[in-house]
Amino acid sequence: MRPINYEAITAMKKCIQENMVTGKTCLTLRSITEETGVPFQTVGRYIQQFIDRGEIKADDEYGYVLTEMAGKINRVKGVPLVGNISCGALSIAEEDITDYIKVPEKLISDGEYFLLRAQGESMINIGIEPGDLVLIRKQSYADPGQVAVVISTEFSDAGGTLKRYYPEPEKHRVRLHPENDTMKDFFVRECIVQGVAKKVFKMRNIE
């Protein structure tokens, strides 16, 4: 009968627990070996024992999780980053997916979402700065005053912009309001709403 290696057990469980917090990888037997220095065969043997005793369980996202902490995981999901959106002058809204960024699932449970990277300073009064990632709920309408991604059909480049959306049906136009005291409103006769902003991520808070 092999002696119990308590040091290896502690190191493995610590590795699993830390990964549940950071979510940096989907753990495998090999990655646990690399993280802890515990021999591969030992890792495999103890992992199976942990599973048999109900102490850990397999997980599609994290690889392995501690059973007692499984219900406390902040699940994340990859959301497509589809380029840049202007927070200044109207410019092209790129539709090519450039990356997938993980965001908490609870923020995107009610529809289809995408991320856009802000450019310009027209929305700085509400904390949207150049380089920020703006979480957009994809929809074809916006309520008055919502921050929306708008495509204007009146511009030759079919440019897109992020502004507060104020329809003015009595004047047959839409007012696009920048949140910057030095900038004036845009007025367009026709436009298409691509979605509404739900949250802003500073890069230091999402990487």
Q: Which of 163, 171, 199, 202 is catalytic?
A: 163
Write down which residue in 41, 57, 72 finishes a domain. 72
Q: Which of 77, 81, 76 is nearest to 99 (CA)?
A: 81
Same domain, 14 and 100: no
Write down which residue in 30, 53, 72 finishes a domain. 72
- Which residue segment(s) compose the domain that 128 sits in? 76-206
Determine the pLDDT at residue 95: 53
Determine the pLDDT at residue 207: 46
Q: How many domains, the chain?
A: 2
Position 186 in a domain: yes
Same domain, 118 and 189: yes
Same domain, 95 and 64: no
User: Catalytic site residue 102?
Assistant: no
Mean pLDDT, the chain cut into blocks of 10 residues (207 residues total): 87 90 81 94 94 90 83 76 66 63 85 90 94 93 96 65 94 95 92 93 62
Position 142 in a domain: yes
Same domain, 90 and 172: yes
Same domain, 142 and 121: yes
Same domain, 89 and 131: yes
Both tokens assigned to 4: 């119990």
Which domain CATH number covers 34?
Answer: 1.10.10.10
Q: Which residues contact 202 (CB under 8 A, 6 or more apart)?
A: 129, 132
Same domain, 66 and 81: no
User: Catalytic site residue 163?
Assistant: yes
Position 1 in a domain: no
Same domain, 136 and 165: yes
Q: Which of 77, 122, 152, 171 is catalytic?
A: 122
Determine the pLDDT at residue 20: 81
